[in-house]
Amino acid sequence: MIVHTPRTRPAPWKTRRQGAGAAWLIPFMALEWVSEWGAFLLSNWSFLEVLEYLGTFSVLVAVIFYFSESGDRIKQRHYQAWQVINTAQGKGGSGGRIEALQELNADKVPLVGVDVSSAFLQGLNLHGANLMRSDFSSADLRNSNLTAVDFTLANLNTANLRNAALDRTKFAETDLRNADLSGSSLVAADFSGAALDNADLRNADLKDIEWRHIKSLKGANIASARDVPEGFAAWALSNGAVSDPGAAE
């Protein structure tokens, strides 16, 4: 609420001038006296009060419009992010895709079917993302945070996932052939139906992985794998996996 305090009518100039001590003070007193009269006259002008109310009201209207249009701004931001991803499809490098993917995932947008094959995406953080049927083939995902991601039916053929965080990630029926998973953390990852032929699992943490329904892992290297579940190593080697610590990087 705007409260206006009425101003007191300034004293006549003759009275004010008499209060001046030194002559050199008179010009300054005159300026002050004129200003007081200006303020007095304007304070009684209702039009200015109306303008003040309108200014306050316009701020309120602007705030209302800002929040009412927030949905459109979010949609526009998502559209731009998808445009970045789709424009760079099939190309190497990042091309702004790391930021675009992370922004969409932060807003809980499903990334089903996204194609970032051959992209340079080191350090990508997509914790909990829905990446079903996505194509990350030949993508560089070293040191990425992909914990609790759903990679069901995704293509990760030849993807570089070295030292990535993949705990609780779902690889159901995922193509992981020739993937580099060395040094990665795969605690409680689900490999049901996954193809791991020629995958590099050296030094990977395999604690509590779901391995009993792996589709194939011929040529997969499990040398120095950590926290290997009971029975997995023997089963893997009997189904074509190898344990070769000196294999080429």
Residue of 245, 171, 243, 183 lying closest to 214 (CA atoms)? 171
pLDDT tens digits, the chain, 249 residues: what are they?
Answer: 445 566 677 677 666 666 666 666 667 677 776 777 667 666 666 555 666 666 676 766 666 655 655 556 788 889 999 999 999 887 888 889 999 999 999 999 999 999 999 999 999 999 999 999 999 999 999 999 999 999 999 999 999 999 999 999 999 999 999 999 999 999 999 999 999 999 999 999 999 999 999 999 999 999 999 999 999 999 999 999 999 987 665
Q: Are residues 114 and 44 in the same domain?
A: no
Q: Is residue 42 part of a domain?
A: yes
Q: Are residues 120 and 45 in the same domain?
A: no
**The whole model's pTM is what?**
0.72
Tokens of 74: 């979010």
Q: Is residue 206 part of a domain?
A: yes
Helix (H) or strand (E) holding 83: helix 70-87
Say if residues 123 and 103 touch (Cβ distance below 8 Å): no
Sorted by sequence, the CB contacts under 8 Å of residue 139 that are 6+ apart come out as 116, 117, 118, 119, 120, 121, 156, 159, 160
Q: Are residues 96 and 213 in the same domain?
A: yes
pLDDT of residue 164: 98
pLDDT of residue 63: 64
User: Could you tell me the sign of the dihedral formed by the alpha carbons of 174, 175, 176, 179, in that order?
Assistant: negative
Tell me the chain's radius of gyration from C-alpha atoms. Answer: 35
Q: Are residues 31 and 146 in the same domain?
A: no
Q: Are residues 46 and 168 in the same domain?
A: no
Q: Are residues 96 and 146 in the same domain?
A: yes
Q: Are residues 118 and 165 in the same domain?
A: yes
Residue 23 DSSP label: G
Q: Is residue 186 part of a domain?
A: yes
Q: Is residue 247 part of a domain?
A: no
Q: Are residues 177 and 133 in the same domain?
A: yes
pLDDT of residue 189: 98
pLDDT of residue 51: 60
Residue of 146, 178, 141 lying closest to 162 (CA atoms)? 141
Residue whose pair of structure tokens reads 């007193």 in the numeric block? 29
Q: Tens digits of per-residue pLDDT, 81-93?
A: 999 999 988 788 8
pLDDT of residue 32: 75
Domain count, the chain: 2
Q: What is the CATH number of the domain that holds 124?
A: 2.160.20.80
Q: Is residue 220 part of a domain?
A: yes
- Domain coverage including residue 196: 90-242
